[in-house]
Amino acid sequence: MRALLLVLDSVGIGAAPDAADYGDEGADTVGHIAEACARGAADNAARRGPLSLPNMVRLGLGEACRLANGRVPTGLTGTDSPVGCFASACEVSQGKDTPSGHWEIAGVPVPFAWHYFPRTTPCFPSDLVAALCDKAGLPGILGDRHASGTQIIAELGAEHLRSQKPICYTSADSVFQIAAHEQAFGLERLYAVCGVARGLVDPLRVGRVIARPFTGTPEIGFTRTANRRDYAVPPPAPTLLDHATAAGRDIITVGKIADIFAHSGTGRVLKGDGNNALFDRTLEGLTSLADGGLLVANFIDFDSLHGHRRDPAGYAQALEELDARLPTLFERMWPNDLLVITADHGCDPTWPGTDHTREQVPVLAWRPGIVPRSAGRRDTFADSGATIAAHLQIAQFRAGAPL
């Protein structure tokens, strides 16, 4: 008896009831991608035509979308009888960011508001920048504004190489991001600078400091690498991972899960560069996961490569590629294993701007022999964690109810 939790980063299924408060009324990541596919606006060299996710549809994705917004997106029909237990879920935490979504999934809604840097240039407090330069031995910083990571690296990469000043920027999330060249600046030096920054922003209640290493030259361009590292504050209370660890369970976390949970209760950590590699590591982890164990994986490409870059075609392709690999996962599950697939927020690639969108998320639960049913609209992401806790017979925590 084991449990697998797959978090499809940013795969929202329709605006949350409070989306208007965030400027996201009408956002719908999966629905709008499906619409773009249906009209040929999401065709590329690797995919064409309507969005096709037959395995997630069999688990109930289309019906979860119906629960969230009253309609099944084009292409996500094909079965009137899903084989899984499905639901839509709303977030009670105040943010629409990665830590808030993941922590709530794991049973710990965020009870406070994060600090967000203003949309000004410069955006960081001058005393924070001065302290960072002094404590980390920096000649200064570049950027100091809200920006897309790929764009600001392209713009300032050459100056960074010349000056050795790291590129510091933020977004609509509660983040302090630091980009530097892996070779010219040094990867370990970048990590050390981020460690200093983490201590400096703690009093501000900033959710994450993120190391954004890149390689390349001004002549050929710059490319971010897979050596990203997130420096998150720890969750404010024990999560599903902590409870499972305290119960002596085998824990495997895949991708950036360990960083998101500040390495609290995250067990063996498996990394991978991109969704396909992360799925490989998930299969690898499942092979070695002990009876009673928990595997939690995050699939980041949906958000970082396609949502933030407003790329419906790439997003659709990534969804279809992951969906095509699910049967291999099903085949390797034990008869009493439980699989839960969900998401942490939205990032509608058709929406204005480059930020996350406040959306409901799907909750798809399956195990061999499960009784297919609708679990309705859920009031918190924490119901995913509560479902897993009940399956693994781990003591229930304060938030969420099993499906």
- Helix, strand, coil percentages (3-state) for the chain, rounded to 5, are 35, 20, 45
The whole-angstrom separation of Cα 27 and Cα 271 is: 31
The mean pLDDT of 73-77, rounded to a whole number, is 90
- Its pTM stands at 0.88
The mean pLDDT of 105-123, rounded to a whole number, is 93
The whole-angstrom separation of Cα 255 and Cα 6 is: 11
How much is the pLDDT for 263?
94
Q: Where would I find the H helices in 247-394? A: 257-260, 275-288, 301, 312-332, 382-392
Rg of the chain taking only CA atoms, in angstroms: 21
Task: Tell me the pLDDT band of 173, cut-offs 50, 70 and 90.
Answer: confident
pLDDT 10s digits, 208-247: 999 999 999 999 999 999 899 999 889 999 999 999 999 9
In the numeric block, the tokens 């606006």 are attached to 41
What's the start-to-end Cα distance of the chain, in Å? Answer: 18
pLDDT(289) > 90: yes
Task: Tell me the pLDDT band of 355, cut-offs 50, 70 and 90.
Answer: confident
The whole-angstrom separation of Cα 195 and Cα 210 is: 10
How much is the pLDDT for 321?
97
The whole-angstrom separation of Cα 345 and Cα 14 is: 10
Percentage of residues in the chain having pLDDT higher than 90? 89
pLDDT(25) > 70: yes
Q: Which residues contact 267 (CB under 8 A, 6 or more apart)?
A: 241, 245, 250, 251, 252, 253
The mean pLDDT of 68-79, rounded to a whole number, is 87
How much is the pLDDT for 78?
66
pLDDT 10s digits, 364-399: 999 988 989 999 999 999 999 999 999 999 986 778
pLDDT(317) > 70: yes
How much is the pLDDT for 199?
96
